[in-house]
Amino acid sequence: MTNVPPPPPIPSQVPPPPAPHASPTSSAYVAQPAPPAPPLPRQRADNEVLAVTNLSKWFGDVVAVSDISFGLGPGVTALLGPNGAGKSTTLRMIAGLAAPSQGTVEVFGADPRKDKDVRGRIGIVPQQESLFQEQRAIEFVALAGVLNGLMDPTGRAREVLEIVELDPADTRPISSYSKGMRQRVKVAQALIHKPELLLLDEPLTGLDPRQRLHMTQLIRSLGEAGVCVVVSSHVLDEVERLGSRVMVIAQGRLAAQGDFHEIRALMDDRPHRIRVRSSNARTLGGVLLTGSGIAGLTVVDGESLIVDTDDAATFRGTIAAVAQAADVRLLEVQPLDDDLESVFKYLVGR
Amino acid sequence: MNTIAAMTRRIIPAVATRGRIIAMLLIGAAGIAIGVVLRRADATTTDMTEFAALFGLTIFVPLVALVISTASLGSLVEDKTLVYFWLRPLGRWQISTASLLAGLAVLLPLILVPMGILGIVTGDTDALQGILAGSLVGLVAYTSVFTMLGLFTQRALAWGLLYVLLWEGLVAGFSRSAGWLAIRTYTDGALSRVGGSAGSIVDPPQGATILIVTGAIVVTSFVVTTWRLNTMTVD
């Protein structure tokens, strides 16, 4: 692997409109398959590893991925989205494990489903836990080396097992391993042939905090070494630690993409709904309405009111002083839509 | 070849589980026991050969091949480990070959040993050779077909059992034209041609026909399996 300069920034992209006849549901659009859309023009970078163009996947009437396009070069990119958003389906299409219903995936300019040489440049950590249970870790990983045509698969298997902090001499079968250990075995088999495109589907699942830190550092170092790493996650904090570019996928659509801090800001800048409990909701509500940054306010009962604000940070910083000035005792301030699901819904609905 | 051998070695333990092997050995032992009882009851060589054809070639060989071969690729699909073969820089035909070889490696002793013993029990060398020839044709043909079937459906055992019982066991026995589309015709044909006995069919196919049809079944199943591996969605 060679060091390459950091990838050019990804131009921000306006999310495409939903497919015709589509209506949003909790996790996917239920729609008739859309007719083929003309390809969106997308400028390709010189060091582009992966090019996804107008990619869609539907299962019967359920659209899992809807018309997404992006290109990636070396470095770490996180696919962020709630469970059922289409992240795994997208990763599987990138790896060639599933054929797109519409659109194309090119890895190093070729179709990974058809070009076996390209498959040899891809490493994948699938989400499912299943491994060859009765094998030892060294045997399982070495088998991956044999199938990738390595000269010394066992030697390399020892190296990658040590990289993921597993003992190559462990004689126990994989079936006796914990979830976290199995996860690391999966990562080891994906690394054995030094892939140039590494696809990791929820790779931190099952790892303890120390292992999470180690795995995060490993992923970052691979990205810095020039590997194109695509990591799927539904946990914002994980993505933050990867320090990566982020693509937010929600309801099968690419809702936003860019630097993590841009995405974080986008999430923070959206209107927030906050419930405030106090000794006198009517008085506090009246005072709040005289201030700025309040988009809406509902008094629920004598104690509770719900505030819609465009500037949640300022609101949280000033609410105590406002209440004190109004001689109202503040009991509780609780964000009602701070979970990722709400954020994703907002991004999709923009 | 190294990659095919590595995959074959990996598939064999997934296919030859203790439960499957014990169950199949018990069925084989039951057949042998019945053969011994028949022999002690002064059954003729023809009677013994017909029993070998009925029990061995019509029930035992396809059943054992079904249980083992459908698991060759089917177990990988079911436990979602096919991805660890599929996403390697290999031709799909290599995966097909490995799965076929794994099935054959397990089935060769599992079928030929009980059937050989059954042949010995007949007390006739020609019958023994015929039974082994018929078993070998069935082993290769059924293994190919059922390996392919395991890749198409997770209910391969049920579908395979329906095929064995209804088509091979019933329809092919009643209709001569349907019989030409049943593997049983060629296993019985091999028994008849090599062993010099009619087995359970009249006017068995020629030796060359048996070889050509068996080869065609193997090649067709192999091509379809490889095509399926190329086009399927892998979990």
Same domain for A295 and A257, yes or no, is no
Contact A149 B89 (CB under 8 A): yes
Distance from the Cα of A168 to chain B's closest Cα (Å) equals 19
pLDDT band at A214 (very low <50, low <70, confident <90, very high): very high
- CA closest to B86 among chain A residues: A97
Q: Would you state the pLDDT for residue A335?
A: 78
Percentage of residues in chain A having pLDDT higher than 70: 81
CB-CB contact of B124 with B45 (8 Å): yes
Burial A131-166 (b: 16+ CB within 10 A, else e): bbbebbbbbbbbbbbbbbebeebeebbbebbebbeb
Q: Would you state the pLDDT for residue A347?
A: 67
Q: Would you state the pLDDT for residue B201?
A: 59
Confirm whether A129 is domain-assigned. no
Taking any CB pair shorter than 8 Å as contact, residues of chain A touching chain B are 92, 95-99, 113, 116-117, 119-120, 122, 124, 126, 128, 130-132, 134-135, 143-144, 146-149, 189
Same domain for A343 and A204, yes or no, is no
Same domain for A201 and A115, yes or no, is yes
B70 vs B181, more confident = B70
Contact B90 A117 (CB under 8 A): no
Which tens digit of pLDDT belongs to each residue from B116-138? 999 999 888 988 999 999 999 99
* β-bridge mates for residue A231, sequence order: A78, A200
Same domain for A110 and A52, yes or no, is yes
Q: Would you state the pLDDT for residue A16?
A: 39
Residues from chain B that touch A146, judged by Cβ atoms under 8 A, are: 2-3, 6
pLDDT band at A342 (very low <50, low <70, confident <90, very high): low
Contact A147 B79 (CB under 8 A): no
Q: Would you state the pLDDT for residue A295?
A: 84
Instruction: Answer whether residue A213 shows pLDDT above 80.
Output: yes
CB-CB contact of B25 with B107 (8 Å): no
Q: Which of B14, B88, B235 sits opposite A119 (nearest CB)?
A: B88
Confirm whether A295 is domain-assigned. yes
Same domain for A317 and A344, yes or no, is yes
The rounded mean pLDDT for chain A is: 83
Same domain for A246 and A279, yes or no, is no
Last residue of a domain, one of A248, A267, A286: A267
Helix, strand, or coil here: A112? coil
Instruction: Answer whether residue B95 shows pLDDT above 90.
Output: yes
Residues from chain B that touch A148, judged by Cβ atoms under 8 A, are: 88-89
Confirm whether A236 is domain-assigned. yes
How many domains are contained in chain A? 2
Same domain for A91 and A105, yes or no, is yes
Contact B90 A116 (CB under 8 A): yes
Confirm whether A172 is domain-assigned. no
pLDDT band at A81 (very low <50, low <70, confident <90, very high): confident
Which tens digit of pLDDT belongs to each residue from B224-234? 999 999 999 99
Task: Note the helical H segments in A19-148.
Answer: 87-95, 116-119, 137-147
Across the range B158-167, mean pLDDT stands at 91
Torsion angle, alpha carbons of A222, A226, A230, A234, to 10: 50
Contact A122 B87 (CB under 8 A): yes
Same domain for A109 and A205, yes or no, is yes
A33 vs B12, more confident = B12
Confirm whether A178 is domain-assigned. no
Instruction: Answer whether residue B235 shows pLDDT above 80.
Output: yes
Q: Would you state the pLDDT for residue A232?
A: 93
Q: Would you state the pLDDT for residue B170?
A: 82
A89 vs A339, more confident = A89
- CA closest to A88 among chain B residues: B235
Taking CA atoms, A128 is separated from A145, A266, B229, in Å, by 20, 32, 20
Distance from the Cα of B9 to chain A's closest Cα (Å) equals 10
Q: Mapped to the 3 state alphabet, what secondary structure does A234-285 carry? A: CCHHHHHHHCCEEEEEECCEEEEEEEHHHHHHHHHHCCEEEEEEECCHHHHH
Taking any CB pair shorter than 8 Å as contact, residues of chain B touching chain A are 2-3, 6-7, 10, 13-14, 79-81, 83-91, 230-231, 233-235
| Residue B28 CB contacts under 8 Å (≥ 6 apart), including other chains | B60, B64, B110, B113, B114, B115
Percentage of residues in chain A having pLDDT higher than 90: 54
Helix, strand, or coil here: A127? coil
Same domain for A306 and A341, yes or no, is yes
Contact B3 A144 (CB under 8 A): no
For residue B72, what are the domain limits? 2-231
Residues from chain A that touch B75, judged by Cβ atoms under 8 A, are: none
Domain CATH for A262: 3.40.50.300
Which tens digit of pLDDT belongs to each residue from A155-208? 999 999 999 999 999 999 999 999 999 999 999 999 999 999 999 999 988 888
Residues from chain B that touch A117, judged by Cβ atoms under 8 A, are: 89
A225 vs B172, more confident = A225
Instruction: Answer whether residue B69 shows pLDDT above 80.
Output: yes
Sheet of A330-335: strands edge to edge?
A294-299, A304-309, A272-278, A330-335
Residues from chain A that touch B230, judged by Cβ atoms under 8 A, are: 113
Which tens digit of pLDDT belongs to each residue from A238-283? 887 887 788 988 888 988 888 777 776 666 666 778 899 999 999 9
Q: Would you state the pLDDT for residue B112?
A: 96
Same domain for A313 and A287, yes or no, is yes
Distance from the Cα of A275 to chain B's closest Cα (Å) equals 43
Which tens digit of pLDDT belongs to each residue from A109-161? 999 999 999 999 999 999 888 899 889 999 999 999 999 999 999 999 999 99
Q: Would you state the pLDDT for residue B162?
A: 93
Instruction: Answer whether residue A35 shows pLDDT above 70.
Output: no
Confirm whether A35 is domain-assigned. no
Q: Would you state the pLDDT for residue A123?
A: 96
Q: Would you state the pLDDT for residue A14?
A: 34
How many Å apart are CA B101 and CA B123, to the nearest integer?
32
pLDDT band at B213 (very low <50, low <70, confident <90, very high): very high
Query: Best residue in A147, A175, A197 to probe B by mutation, most B CBs within 10 Å?
Result: A147
Same domain for A338 and A242, yes or no, is no
Same domain for A205 and A305, yes or no, is no
Which tens digit of pLDDT belongs to each residue from B19-44? 999 999 999 999 999 999 999 998 88
How many domains are contained in chain B? 1
Q: Would you state the pLDDT for residue A311?
A: 79
Task: Note the helical H segments in A45-178.
Answer: 87-95, 116-119, 137-147, 153-163
Which tens digit of pLDDT belongs to each residue from A19-28? 333 333 333 3
Instruction: Answer whether residue A6 shows pLDDT above 50.
Output: no
Across the range B179-194, mean pLDDT stands at 90
Contact A119 B89 (CB under 8 A): yes
Residues from chain B that touch A98, judged by Cβ atoms under 8 A, are: 233-234
Confirm whether A254 is domain-assigned. yes
Distance from the Cα of A91 to chain B's closest Cα (Å) equals 12
For residue A224, what are the domain limits? 23-30+45-121+195-267
Residues from chain B that touch A120, judged by Cβ atoms under 8 A, are: 88-89
- CA closest to A96 among chain B residues: B87
Residues from chain A that touch B10, judged by Cβ atoms under 8 A, are: 132, 135, 143
Last residue of a domain, one of A267, A298, A314: A267
- ipTM here: 0.86
Last residue of a domain, one of A267, A285, A300: A267
pLDDT band at A310 (very low <50, low <70, confident <90, very high): confident
